[in-house]
Amino acid sequence: MITTHRVWVYGDDVNTDLIFPGKYTYTLRDPAAIAAHALEDLDPTFAANAHPGDAIIAGRSWGMGSSREQAVTALKTLGVRLIVAESFGGLYFRNCINQGIYAAVVPGLYKRVTTGDVIEYDADSATITAAGETFALPSLPDQVRAILEAGGLLALLKRR
Amino acid sequence: MTGFTFVEKVPARAAGVESARAGEVLIVRPDLVFSHDNTAAIAKIFAEIGVARVFDPDRIAVTLDHAAPAPTTAHAQNHIEIRAFVREQGISHFFEIGRGICHQVISEEALILPGEVIFGSDSHTTHFGWMGAFGMGVGRTEMAALWATGSLWIRVPETLRVLLHGRLRRGVTAKDIALRLCADLTVSGGAYRAVEFAGNGMESLPLDDRPVLPNMMAEFGAMSAYMPPDQVVFDALEGRRTRPYTPIYPDADARYDQTHTIDLDALEPLIALPGSPDTVVPLSRIAGTPIQQGFIGTCTGGRYDDLAAAAAVVRGQTLRARLIVIPASRDVLARAAASGVLGDLIAAGAAIGTPGCGACMGNHMGVPAVGEASIISGSRNFHGRMGTPDAPIYLANAAVVAAAAVAGAIVPVESIEAVRS
Ligand code: SF4
């Protein structure tokens, strides 16, 4: 199945404090309230303009820093389904998988796109097409694929 | 057959197999899991899973440390929910406000031991590498899953080996080693990987300095970090531990992804500039930069040696900038009180806070105003970390932080000592 996604493009080293500020972590629990602060110190236009199905394309170390899962919840609640970066903070990557967001390392993609572009994601062939070029997505271990397919770790556990 | 790295051995054993190669996925059963002020949020996810009881209340620890004592009613509500959950589930290892920061407290209590596996819902869980344990930070959903099942998937990472050669000069600490490493290989230098420290330089690191390296590997993007435990570590655990343990060491012929060497003799005090722990310069390069607030504390830089180093600098001085000192634990505070270090800090005008995370993440106890510059002994200087993106944060070792508080500007520690003599 091929889906299309409008992209938001960000650079290197966007840490979890920029994705979701630490000062809100113990007081905001409602996903909508969390989402309202998504990326507020980096791109104040994001939270109001993100649409379901949007993708984030970033440089190196997207989501480095704290383990805070709200930095994923905030984006998921706004409808982000796909995050592609040159590299990820390890915890952020795990948090994405566990919340059912497809996170993938695809070197070179972020230099080819600008915010507002539309990319094509082909789940069957595991590729992304952007600006006329096709990029292969890395393969996933079965356990990880099972979590993504269930819609996240929580969904998988509930089902069991 | 080539040998195994530390992370190819220890998580594998916790998964019921002898060893595993980098890239394999394991279902690991940790010896201990812990959470902190995020426990109430995790409890909510746990309730959704629909399992009534946690997998083992004796293998769960909870500390109240991140916003403790509670700065607002909302934070207090969060704490009360956590206490109720701890009671209801009969969780054995619960630490109230004021006991200290999760990583420090669990280390002091010897709740985890060399060769064991610990997962925490906190990114600095890499900390436990100081004693040769496998520590990894997890997200909230993962912690809820751990409470429910006692197990979690991990992908065995590749290992970066960091060789430390020589001996640190006076006034240079493990903090400077960690900043050097971030500067050399950037904050994504450790991404997806584990870090193993080795080399003769490690032996000369005092006990309080050791956790700084694995702790700050969180800034370096690493999944976990390891230091080979020696007698200094075994002695620290003796008298507190309640079970035997077997230290685990990597094989001499283990395969490493990369080896990076740091010459300790050549290191000088370093400063990370506001924004990222890998934008690092020698102190001399930015000497004279005005500072409004110094903060000594956190799981990175709030141990006894940090307080003692700061006290040695401020003794008999008056401060031109505010100095906030928040011990990493009650044990640290008690020791500083007994030795006179605390008295020296108070006499110089330092403001002392309740042991815990304090000002580290902008919750309370030292939030800067817009435009105010802070220098801290902690590990995070991201924009907005301490409450507002418009307050620059510099990272340095504790003595350098104290010297900046005395001078009201970033200065070499020797310049303070010179004034005194
Ligand atoms: S002291 Fe700071 S870095 Fe350490 S656990 Fe607390 S908030 Fe995190």
Q: Atom 2 of ligand 1 has which residue's CA nearest to it? A: B360
Reply yes or no on whether the pLDDT at A57 is more than 90. Answer: yes
Amino acid B349: pLDDT:
98
Q: In this complex, which of B142, B221, B362 lies closest to A64 when CB atoms are compared?
A: B221
The contacts of residue B135 (CB under 8 Å, 6+ apart) are B112, B117, B118, B119, B120, B125, B126, B127, B128, B129, B214, B224, B225
Contact at CB, A88 and B75, closer than 8 angstroms: no
B116 Cα–ligand 1 center, Å? 22
Amino acid B204: pLDDT:
86
The contacts of residue B149 (CB under 8 Å, 6+ apart) are A157, B55
Lateral strand order in the sheet of A127-130: A102-105, A82-85, A55-58, A2-9, A118-122, A127-130, A133-136
Nearest to A28 by CA among B253, B120, B74, B307: B74
* DSSP bridge partners of B409: B290
The contacts of residue B387 (CB under 8 Å, 6+ apart) are A23, B362, B367, B368
Contact at CB, A67 and B123, closer than 8 angstroms: yes
A49 Cα–ligand 1 center, Å? 33
Amino acid at B270: L
Contact A89/B at CB under 8 A: yes
Reply yes or no on whether the pLDDT at A77 is more than 70. Answer: yes
Amino acid B23: pLDDT:
73
Dist CA B133 CA B211 (whole Å) = 12
Token couple for A44: 């104040």
Are B273 and B286 within 8 A, CB to CB?
A: yes
Give mean pLDDT in consecutive 10-residue pieces for chain B, a chain of 421 residues. 94 93 87 98 95 97 97 96 98 98 98 98 96 95 95 91 97 98 91 92 94 96 95 96 97 96 97 96 97 98 98 97 98 98 98 97 91 96 88 97 98 84 53
Q: What DSSP letter does each residue of B338-393 carry, written as one string?
A: HHTHHHHHHHHTPEE--SSSGGGGSSSSSPPPTT--EEESSS---TTTTS-TTS-E
ipTM of the complex: 0.83
Residue B292's SS3 state is coil
Most A-contacting residue of B142, B149, B182, B364 (CB-CB within 10 A), to test interface: B142
What number of CA atoms fall less than 13 Å from residue B88's CA on the CB side?
12
B66 Cα–ligand 1 center, Å? 7
- Rounded to two decimals, the pTM is 0.88
Domains and their CATH numbers in chain A: 2-159 (3.20.19.10)
Dist CA B310 CA B300 (whole Å) = 15
Residue B65 burial by Cβ neighbours in a 10 Å radius (0-12, 13-18, 19+): buried
Question: Is the preceding omega at residue B69 within 30 degrees of 0, hence cis?
Answer: yes
Token couple for B386: 């301490």
B146 Cα–ligand 1 center, Å? 22
A22 neighbourhood in chain B, CB within 8 Å: 361-363, 384-385
- At CA A140, angle to CA B151 and CA B218, rounded to 5? 60
Nearest to B407 by CA among B264, B289, B232, B260: B289
Contact B67/A at CB under 8 A: yes
Contact at CB, B141 and A27, closer than 8 angstroms: no
* Ligand 1, residues at Cβ distance < 6 Å: B 66, 101, 122, 124, 298-299, 357, 360-361, 378-379
Token look-up 């972590």 returns A25
Q: Give the number of A-B residue pairs with CB atoms closer than 8 Å.
A: 131
Dist CA B208 CA B332 (whole Å) = 10
HEC states along chain A?
CEEEEEEEECCCCCEHHHHCCHHHCCCCCCHHHHHCCCCCCCCCCHHHHCCCCCEEEECCCECECCCCCHHHHHHHHCCCCEEEECCECHHHHHHHHHCCCEEEECCCHHHCCCCCCEEEEECCCCEEEECCEEEECCCCCHHHHHHHHHCCHHHHHHHC
Q: In this complex, which of B50, B67, B122 lies closest to A26 when CB atoms are compared?
A: B67
Task: Kindly list the distances between the CA atom of residue A116 and the CA atoms of A41, A57, A89, A119, B362, in Å, as whole numbers in the listed order.
Answer: 20, 11, 25, 10, 34
Which DSSP category does B47 fall into? H
Range picked from A76-80, A104-108, A134-138, B57-61 for highest mean pLDDT: B57-61
Dist CA B170 CA B9 (whole Å) = 36
B41 neighbourhood in chain A, CB within 8 Å: 29
B48 neighbourhood in chain A, CB within 8 Å: 154, 158
CA B90 to chain centroid: 28
Amino acid A144: pLDDT:
83
Nearest to A123 by CA among A2, A34, A40: A2
Amino acid B25: pLDDT:
79
Return residues 19-58 of B near A (CB < 8 Å): 25, 27, 37-38, 41, 44-45, 48-50
Rg (CA), chain A: 15
Token look-up 């969060």 returns B78
Q: What DSSP letter does each residue of B112-171 carry, written as one string?
A: S-TT-EEEESSGGGGGGGGGT-EEEE--HHHHHHHHHHS-EEEEPPPEEEEEEES-PPTT
Amino acid B419: pLDDT:
63
Are A26 and B37 within 8 A, CB to CB?
A: yes
